[in-house]
Structure 1
Amino acid sequence: MSEALLPDPVSVTVRAPAKINVYLGVGKVRDDGFHPLETVYQAVSLYDDVTVTAAEEWAVTLLADGDHVDGSAVPDDDTNIVVRAGKALAAHHGIERAAEIEIRKTIPVAGGMAGGSADAAATLVALDRLWNLDTSDDDLLALAADLGSDVPFALVGGTATGTGRGEVVTPVDDAGTWWWVVVFSDEGLSTPSVYGAYDLLEGGDHDYRVRPAMLDTLRHPEDNPDGLPMFLYNDLEDAAFYLRPDLQTTAEAALECGAATTLLSGSGPTMLAMATDADHAREVAGRLAGRGYTRTAVAHGPVAGAHVVAYG
């Protein structure tokens, strides 16, 4: 049977990765209330799966996959970013349609890993396939940018720089495979509160641009195999530690357990412990578990952005 004769799918499942910021530089708050950013994103192997099914009305169901996922604060109505993504896509094409959206969530909520952004990106791709819209990549990226600063990167995946509010994404050649122990927190951390503390403590009056040498290390890790840890940086880390001193304690514990270095994920509260390879990551995770840090995951990057995994 030719592809043109295949029936329209009843459902589509798209997988989207968590993001980390291996570099996050934050400038002084602008008049519009946003902070200019320069960041290096990396998509890592911690995923949410979003399944969309044609329906008469919008509906959202969340399935928490792991005890580190607290879905109680995730709305199940039209305020959810996945419904906003679906409505934006329909409006872009001038159509009136709806869908049931099921989110199987592994990325922590309010964890600084852009789980909501990943879900929005997955929804855009899934509904585009479900409705056979053939939306151009440029239009999908524009819709994504309107939804949130991290949504375009969730579409692109891999490793990329982000400028503006983070929504202007430029892929970076990354020849490495980088390993992380992801240390989840028992409670979320509000992004606005972290930026507020940053303004109070730092203010952004410094050179926050990405260092070219860091991008060279990503492109050619064989020339400097131990070089990436020296470039890992997050301007929001001190602010998050100010609000949550326990996160600094977690970072110190990870170093004592053998991590090459540590890094706050985005605006937190998830902490990252960098490892040299998969075995080292599992070793660090095991040592952390012995200290009571049992809510961890081993992940690697870079990985692909939002992509279809099933048609139903």
Structure 2
Amino acid sequence: MSRVSSADGSRAATCSTDDALTISAPAKINLYLGVHAQKDARGYHLVDTVMIALDLADTLTVRPSDALTVRTVPQTDFPQEHNTAYKAAVAMGKVFGREPHFNVLIDKHIPMCAGLGGPSTDAAATIVALCQFWGIDPHDERVLGVARSIGADVPFFLYGMPTYLGGCGDVMCETFQPFTGTPVALVKPWSSRVSTIEAYRRFDENPVALPPLEPMLEALRAHNDDEVLARVENNLAPAACGLAPEIGEILDWMRQQSGVRVANVCGSGATVFAICETQEAAEAVSAAADAHGWWSYAAKMGERGPSIVE
């Protein structure tokens, strides 16, 4: 068998046409999210962000087929052509001149419209799988171009190291040493969903000033977790809370819980994350959130993007 680099830079065997690949596709949180009032020529907001992967993950099974099909468990209520994994496979086929004839099954564990990057990580995992099947280096610039064409978060998920991204949140500027194993509690209202588009529209109605970026980057370069946590910011959070007030209630509640070092909104919501002193504290926050009737998960920070499950 030939060999090809996997998303984390290691070497992995290229799959035969009869093989199926199982890919773990992690969620993310934004340690820093700074949305600019200015937009680029396309009308997209300029965004600075620092993202880090978690061990909460969707699981994708990808196998060769007679045509491209994508389905999810639980089943979604929109056509497969609207799924980011489908779009990623089509885009990979066009760029590399191949027919993306695969069956993609996505076992969903990351909630939708939660600010945790579920659609983006599924797209990145699909790209990684096709690189593996077709013997393509995931670090090929054309692969990164495909990722950027699907969504702003997809380039981050291709590799998954803690990363500072600029541009519209899609240009990888700097990576940092992971904080692997750091406990994180995730909580969201079951009924509230926040559209990213609506969150940005709400932001435009009342833009919030950019939080300082450089102190966060300096703390990450020094790998000083106390300083990193002191710099956690999200100026899109007020828009998310305005669209779904229960997010603000959860945020206030989480900041009062024992063992919580810092809490903020994930991306555009609706999830709130709390970085905790211990895994036991994260699990206690999750259990207390369950008692309130909210969705919750006790996670840990990871160190990579989509990875092949042996």
State whether residues 16 and 133 of structure 2, in contact with CA within 8 Å, keep that contact through their aligned partners in structure 1: no
Q: Supply the distance in 1 between the matched residues of 2:17 and 2:76 (Cα, whole angstroms).
A: 34
Name the CA shift for 1:159/1:135 in 2 (closer, same or farther; >3 Å). Answer: closer
1:44 counterpart residue number: 54
2:10 counterpart residue number: none
Q: Percent identity?
A: 29
2:202 counterpart residue number: 197
Q: State the SS of the aligned residue for 2:82.
A: coil
Q: Which amino acid is the alignment partner of residue 43 of structure 1?
A: A
1:11 counterpart residue number: 20
1:214 counterpart residue number: 216
State whether residues 18 and 115 of structure 1, in contact with CA within 8 Å, keep that contact through their aligned partners in structure 2: yes
Q: Give RMSD over aligned pairs.
A: 2.3
2:177 counterpart residue number: 174
Name the CA shift for 1:39/1:209 in 2 (closer, same or farther; >3 Å). Answer: farther
Q: Supply the distance in 2 between the matched residues of 1:102 and 1:301 (Cα, whole angstroms).
A: 25
Q: Supply the distance in 2 between the matched residues of 1:200 and 1:236 (Cα, whole angstroms).
A: 12
Range with bigger deviation, 273-282 or 101-110: 273-282
Name the CA shift for 1:114/1:6 in 2 (closer, same or farther; >3 Å). Answer: closer
Residues 77-88 of structure 1: matches in 2 within 5 Å?
77-88=80-91
Q: State the SS of the aligned residue for 1:21.
A: strand
State whether residues 114 and 194 of structure 2, in contact with CA within 8 Å, keep that contact through their aligned partners in structure 1: yes
The answer on 1:34 being equivalent to 2:44 is yes
State whether residues 176 and 218 of structure 1, in contact with CA within 8 Å, keep that contact through their aligned partners in structure 2: no
- How far is the alpha carbon of 1:154 from its aligned partner? 0.6
The answer on 1:142 being equivalent to 2:145 is yes
Instruction: State the structure with bigger RCO (CA 8 A, min sep 6), 1 or 2.
Output: 1
TM-score, normalised relative to structure 1:
0.87
Name the CA shift for 1:283/1:293 in 2 (closer, same or farther; >3 Å). Answer: same
Range with bigger deviation, 171-180 or 229-238: 171-180
Q: State the SS of the aligned residue for 1:43.
A: strand
The answer on 1:229 being equivalent to 2:229 is yes
The answer on 1:95 being equivalent to 2:75 is no
- How far is the alpha carbon of 1:132 from its aligned partner? 3.3
Q: Supply the distance in 2 between the matched residues of 1:79 and 1:175 (Cα, whole angstroms).
A: 33
Q: Which amino acid is the alignment partner of residue 201 of structure 2?
A: G
2:189 counterpart residue number: 185
Across the two proteins, how many residue pairs are aligned to each other?
Answer: 297
Q: Which amino acid is the alignment partner of residue 128 of structure 2?
A: V
State whether residues 189 and 246 of structure 2, in contact with CA within 8 Å, keep that contact through their aligned partners in structure 1: no
Q: State the SS of the aligned residue for 1:78.
A: helix
Q: Which amino acid is the alignment partner of residue 217 of structure 2?
A: L
Q: Supply the distance in 1 between the matched residues of 2:146 and 2:48 (Cα, whole angstroms).
A: 21
Q: State the SS of the aligned residue for 2:186.
A: strand
The answer on 1:130 being equivalent to 2:100 is no
Name the CA shift for 1:99/1:172 in 2 (closer, same or farther; >3 Å). Answer: same
